[in-house]
Structure 1
C-alpha cells in the first residue's frame, strides 16, 4: 500500500471528508496537523507548490491536492490504483 500523508487542521470539514474517504477505502495515512505549527504549515506549502489551504494530500510523495481533488480521483477510478501501486 502506498504511503499517504495528509496535512490537516482540527476544525476543517474538508479534512474530515478526505480522511473519511481514505478510511472507507481501508487506507492508513499519516496525519500532520498544521493548526498550531508554523514550520509544518511552511513544509506543507513548499511541498504543495504554494497551496496554503487544508487538506493537502500526498500519495507516495506525489501531491494529489485537496479534498475535492481526492474525491475526483476516486470518482474517476484512479485513486485505488495510485494507492495500490508499488513504490
Structure 2
C-alpha cells in the first residue's frame, strides 16, 4: 500500500519484482543489517548521505560501517522500496546500528549532538 501511494505521488512505476526477486532483496537487506554493526543505505551523489558517512568514518572509524550505494546497483530502487516498507522511510541515507533503525542523516546528527551516538555505536 505504501509503495502504491508513493508511486502515485512521485510518479514511480509499481515494482515489477517477481516473488523470487523480492525474496532475494529481502534476504540481502535483512542479512546485511543483521551481519553489520553499522549499515548505511546511501546514494553516492546525495549530500545528506555524504554528511552521515563523513561523521561515521571520521569520528567512529574504529567501528566499520557497511555502505551500500543504491545508485550504483541495478537493484537499488528495489532495495529502496523494500527499505521504505520495512522502516516507513523512503529517503536516503537509511541507517541501522546494531539492527536498530536510526533514520536518516538528520537523525544521526541529532544523536551525535545529544551525545547518544557514541554510546549507541560503542556498546558491546
TM-score of the superposition, structure 2-length normalised? 0.62
Structure 2, unmatched stretches of 5+, are 1-35
Q: Distance in 2 between matches of 1:66 and 1:32?
A: 14
Rate the CA distance shift 1:43–1:32 in 2: closer, same or farther, 3 A: farther
Q: Secondary structure at the match of 2:95?
A: strand
Q: Which structure 1 residue ranges, 5 or more long, are not aligned?
A: none
Where 1:44 maps in the other structure, the secondary structure is helix
1:14 correspondence with 2:48: yes
**Over residues 18-72 of structure 1, what are the superposed CA-to-partner deviations in whole Å (9 max), with x where a residue is unaligned?**
0000011124201112224233212322332x21100010001101010011010
Structure with greater proportional strand content: 1
* TM-score (structure 1 length as normaliser): 0.86
The separation in 1 between residues aligned to 2:52 and 2:43, in whole angstroms, is 12
The equivalent of 2:103 in structure 1 is 65
Bigger Rg over Cα: 2
Moved over 6 A (4+): none
Q: Are residues 1:28 and 2:67 paired? A: no
